[in-house]
Amino acid sequence: MSKAPALPRRRSFGEVIEDQLALRQLLREYLIPTETNNIWYTLGGVLAISLVLEILTGMALSMRYIPDAG
């Protein structure tokens, strides 16, 4: 009596994407540059985030605000 060959296990969608993009390996090998450990680098990021927030809230306000002197 011969045995049927075992079917390979089906991989989930996440496992297929992980194999294609190699995300774990990319994150494991990523090294943070030393120049980013700087107060000016941090303040530049804070400035960029605040600028984006100001632009987005300004656009939202300009769509709803109706100036009225009365």
pLDDT tens digits, residue range 31-62?
777 778 888 888 999 999 999 999 999 999 99
Q: Phi first, then psi: what are they for 43, rounded to 5°?
A: -65, -35
What confidence category does residue 26 fall into, taking pLDDT thresholds of 50, 70 and 90?
A: confident
Secondary structure percentages of the chain, helix, strand, coil, to 5: 65, 0, 35
Q: How many other β-carbons are positioned within 10 Å of the β-carbon of residue 18? A: 14
Q: Residue 70: inside a domain, yes or no?
A: no
Q: Residue 47: inside a domain, yes or no?
A: yes
Q: What's the pLDDT at 2?
A: 66
Tell which wins on pLDDT, 50 or 24. Answer: 50
Distance, in Å, from the CA atom of 18 to the CA atom of 26, rounded to the nearest integer, reads 11
The whole domain housing 38 covers 13-64
66: tokens are: 């109706």
Q: Residue 1: inside a domain, yes or no?
A: no
Q: Residue 54: inside a domain, yes or no?
A: yes
What's the mean per-residue pLDDT of the chain? Answer: 84
Segment 59-70 mean pLDDT: 89
Q: Residue 25: inside a domain, yes or no?
A: yes
45: tokens are: 């990021």
CB 41 within 8 A of CB 35: yes
Q: Residue 23: inside a domain, yes or no?
A: yes
Number of domains in the chain: 1
Q: Residue 4: inside a domain, yes or no?
A: no
Q: Residue 5: inside a domain, yes or no?
A: no
Q: What's the pLDDT at 49?
A: 97
